[in-house]
């Protein structure tokens, strides 16, 4: 019987979900659903000191918005719960004690002072710090006496100190690590909480996780996990380690590189389907040259063997290109929801009607990549004066540009009913009167009324600027 594919996304509630973590969730979801398996959400909150209030809700909200709906998890339950690690402490204690009874782990009573001394010694000798196994030598009588006296202890795993650990990873192939570099890692801390490494292995086994998808920073930790699986006699999962997400300088992505969390992106008006589409291509490629995929399409075509080993560069321009595809397909009422709040925050709209604002959003639908971008591309509608850059000034030196502006200004002044149709008539009258068309007709007008060489439909732009503003800006030709 073929084992059912079960993957998990196991974030720690330490803040907003970073795009690298979200990509791990996406890949875990795609692997599960491609093979008709289950996707599990598990909250790893064993490090209580790093928890951020509200972070668990951010995790739930991000998964829901992105369509990564878990089959099992803290909110919807399942047969393998609890799905929050702080609710599983007795389970970890039981399995840690089991390893002690199997002589695969031992009690360690070393104080922080002693550990600090051997750390300093390692620094002096310029070698990596590894616990020296001091407490492995304690007799059972000594252990019992220390426990009776109330001395604090941790439980450490016994690691082999010779030989080589080898395992296979779907992305990186065969991986090999010398066992002498593996420390006798702590499994259970003195406060009763498990370490990240230990809780992961116990939970992955008990929840029957078949495929572990995580960042490649865990490549070197995997031998430790595998020695735990061997100590218990458990079957190991399939490993899929993902390349790191980096900036253009090949440094690990951080918040200083822009919106590095999903909620930052979402609040800036990026669409969840656009973000999921982009992140799915970050370190993975389909067999075709296509780049726009729905989540359902990704499920059908996702092949983990096509994940790249190389670091994945987080390219905001590429993200914008992908997201713009989804912006263009939005219904106007939905586009208004992700753009108008940003306009209201940036500009005074008290003298603008809803129709005016909606019209503004509509004409810029094909010119923005995300909701908040509408603020910077529409500033020409909210300032009194505009300044022409050198490129615009150079163009305005072309033959007949001054004639176009003078003629158009005359026709615009004669409009008594400010409508788009009448504006189009003024443009056509200018074309006939001056004898120009195309670029030489539209570009001078656009430059003088907007200060830009490109933009949405010119009649709509002129209409929204208003007759008085347009006339005032056209009058600037005399000072050129």
Which active-site residues does the annotation give? 255
Could you give the CA distance from residue 448 to residue 50 in angstroms, rounded to a whole number? 55
Residues 6+ apart with CB under 8 A from 456: 363, 364, 366, 367
Which of 182, 187, 146, 147 lies closest to 165 in space, CA to CA? 182
Q: Is 331 exposed, middle or buried (0-12, 13-18, 19+ CB in 10 A)?
A: exposed
Phi, psi (degrees; rounded to nearest 5) at 338: -100, 0
Contact 262, 319 (CB under 8 A): no
Q: Give how far the C-alpha of residue 207 lies from the chain's centroid of Cα atoms, to the nearest Å.
A: 26
Q: CA torsion sign, 352 to 353 to 356 to 362?
A: positive
Could you give the CA distance from residue 49 to residue 150 in angstroms, rounded to a whole number? 24
Task: For residue 232, give both structure tokens.
Answer: 């218990």
Could you give the CA distance from residue 329 to residue 309 in angstroms, rounded to a whole number? 34
Residues 6+ apart with CB under 8 A from 280: 23, 26, 27, 30, 293, 298, 302
Residues 6+ apart with CB under 8 A from 461: 363, 446, 449, 450, 455
Which stretches within 135-261 are classed as H helix?
A: 140-148, 196-206, 222-232
| 3-class DSSP assignment, residue 378 | coil
Rg (CA), the chain: 31
Residues 6+ apart with CB under 8 A from 86: 45, 46, 48, 193
Task: For residue 269, give both structure tokens.
Answer: 């008006």
Could you give the CA distance from residue 220 to residue 91 in angstroms, rounded to a whole number? 26
Could you give the CA distance from residue 156 to residue 110 in angstroms, rounded to a whole number? 11
Beta bridge partners of 77: 73
Could you give the CA distance from residue 168 to residue 239 in angstroms, rounded to a whole number? 7
DSSP state of 235: P
Could you give the CA distance from residue 161 to residue 429 in angstroms, rounded to a whole number? 89
């Amino acid at each position: 019987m073929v084992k059912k594919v079960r993957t998990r996304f196991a974030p720690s509630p330490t803040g907003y979900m970073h795009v690298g973590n979200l990509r791990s969730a996406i890949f875990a979801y795609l692997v599960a659903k491609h093979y008709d398996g289950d996707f599990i959400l598990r909250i790893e909150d064993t490090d209580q000191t790093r928890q951020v209030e509200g972070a668990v809700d951010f995790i739930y909200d991000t998964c829901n918005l992105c369509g990564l709906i878990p089959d099992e998890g803290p909110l919807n339950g399942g047969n393998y719960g609890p799905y929050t690690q702080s609710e599983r402490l007795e389970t970890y204690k039981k399995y840690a004690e089991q390893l002690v009874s199997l002589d695969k782990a031992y009690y360690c009573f070393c104080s922080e002072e002693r550990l600090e001394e051997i750390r300093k010694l390692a620094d002096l000798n310029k070698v990596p710090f590894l616990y020296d196994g001091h407490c492995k030598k304690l007799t059972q009588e000594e252990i019992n006496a220390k426990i009776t006296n109330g001395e604090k202890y941790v439980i450490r795993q016994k690691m082999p100190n010779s030989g080589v650990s080898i395992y296979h990873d779907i992305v990186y192939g065969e991986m090999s690590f010398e066992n002498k570099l593996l420390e006798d890692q702590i499994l259970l801390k003195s406060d009763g909480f498990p370490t990240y490494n230990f809780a992961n292995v116990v939970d992955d086994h008990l929840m029957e996780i078949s495929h572990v998808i995580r960042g490649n920073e865990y490549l070197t930790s995997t031998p430790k996990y595998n020695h735990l699986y061997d100590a218990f006699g458990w079957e190991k999962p399939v490993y899929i380690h993902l390349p790191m997400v980096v900036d253009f300088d090949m440094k690990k992505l951080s918040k200083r590189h822009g919106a590095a969390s999903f909620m930052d992106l979402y609040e800036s008006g990026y669409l969840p389907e656009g973000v999921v589409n982009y992140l799915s291509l970050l370190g993975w490629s389909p067999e075709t040259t296509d780049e726009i995929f729905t989540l359902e399409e990704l499920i059908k075509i996702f092949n983990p063997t096509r994940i790249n080993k190389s670091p994945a560069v987080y390219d905001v321009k590429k993200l914008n290109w992908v997201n713009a595809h989804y912006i263009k397909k939005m219904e106007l009422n939905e586009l208004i929801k992700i753009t108008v709040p940003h306009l209201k925050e940036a500009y005074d709209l008290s003298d603008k009607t809803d129709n005016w604002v909606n019209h503004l959003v509509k004409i810029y639908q094909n010119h923005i990549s995300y909701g908040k971008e509408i603020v910077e591309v529409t500033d020409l509608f909210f300032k009194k004066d505009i300044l022409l850059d050198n490129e615009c000034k150079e163009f305005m030196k072309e033959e007949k540009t001054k004639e176009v502006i003078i003629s158009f200004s005359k026709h615009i002044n004669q409009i008594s009913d400010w409508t788009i149709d009448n504006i189009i008539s003024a443009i056509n009258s200018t074309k006939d009167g001056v004898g120009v068309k195309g670029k030489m007709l539209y570009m001078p007008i656009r430059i003088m009324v907007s200060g830009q060489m490109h933009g949405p439909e010119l009649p709509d732009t002129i209409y929204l600027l208003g007759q008085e503003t347009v006339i005032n800006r056209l009058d600037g030709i005399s000072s050129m």
